[in-house]
Amino acid sequence: MKKILILGIIILFSLSLLSCDSWMTTTQTFTYEIDDIASTDQDVEMYSLDLTTNEDYAEHRDQIRSVDQVSIVGRITNNLETEASAQIWADTSDAYTTVEGVTNNATLIFATPMPLPGGSITSIDWSDGLEYMENTDYLNDLIINEGQFALYGLAADTPFDITIEAEVVITVTVGR
């Protein structure tokens, strides 16, 4: 009798836990490679990011509960001899071709906190990239609801000439 009682409590406990929706989630990380973005203050380059071409994102897109972290890793080259703080801006529109067009309409999502020395190549690892992210709520919304958006490479200083080779590393919580 005692054993049956204990077994019954355990079965009831297990069934009640399985019915909790938030228990049926997983945490997944996927990486999206961005081709080089080479921008100058006279010629702003845009990269059209389409997450739906990523198998992991496409498979779970409708099941994403939250974006837990986004980091940008890669290498930034400052092609001029003057210092420049690199930036990445994002927007659903890919129509901007000038610095003013981008800064007036798009949202800053990444900025190096210190100027990159002239002629330097700077590596951004995962923890640096996480630290340099800006306006993550906006970016998270683009990832969950849009999947496709434009990235613009800029620098905070003028004149500038930078090349950004980057990958976006996205960690999400996925549910059924």
Number of residues that bind another protein (CB under 8 A): 35
Contact 140, 17 (CB under 8 A): no
Contact 155, 85 (CB under 8 A): yes
Residue 144 in contact with another protein, rule: CB under 8 A: no
Interface pattern 30-59 for another protein (x via CB under 8 A): -x-x--------------------------
The correct pick among 1, 2, 95, 113 for binding another protein (CB under 8 A) is 2
Stretch that binds another protein, among 17-25, 38-46, 99-107, 144-152 (CB under 8 A): 17-25
* Entry field: residues in the chain: 176
CA atoms of 21 and 19, how far apart (whole Å): 6
Place of tokens 């990380």: 29
The correct pick among 15, 17, 18, 95 for binding another protein (CB under 8 A) is 17
Nearest distance from C-beta of residue 158 to another protein, angstroms: 27
Query: Quick one: tokens of 54?
Result: 């990523």
Nearest distance from C-beta of residue 164 to another protein, angstroms: 10
Residue 134 in contact with another protein, rule: CB under 8 A: no
Taking only Cα atoms into account, the Rg of the chain, rounded to an integer number of angstroms, comes to: 22
Cα torsion 88, 172, 141, 40 to 10°: value is 10
DSSP structure string for 42-66: SS--EEEEEGGGSHHHHHHGGGEEE
- State which residue, 39 or 71, has the beta carbon closest to another protein: 71
The binding site for another protein (CB under 8 A) comprises 2, 6, 9-10, 13, 17, 22-23, 25-29, 31, 33, 65-66, 68-69, 73-75, 123, 125-127, 130-131, 165-167, 169, 171, 173, 175
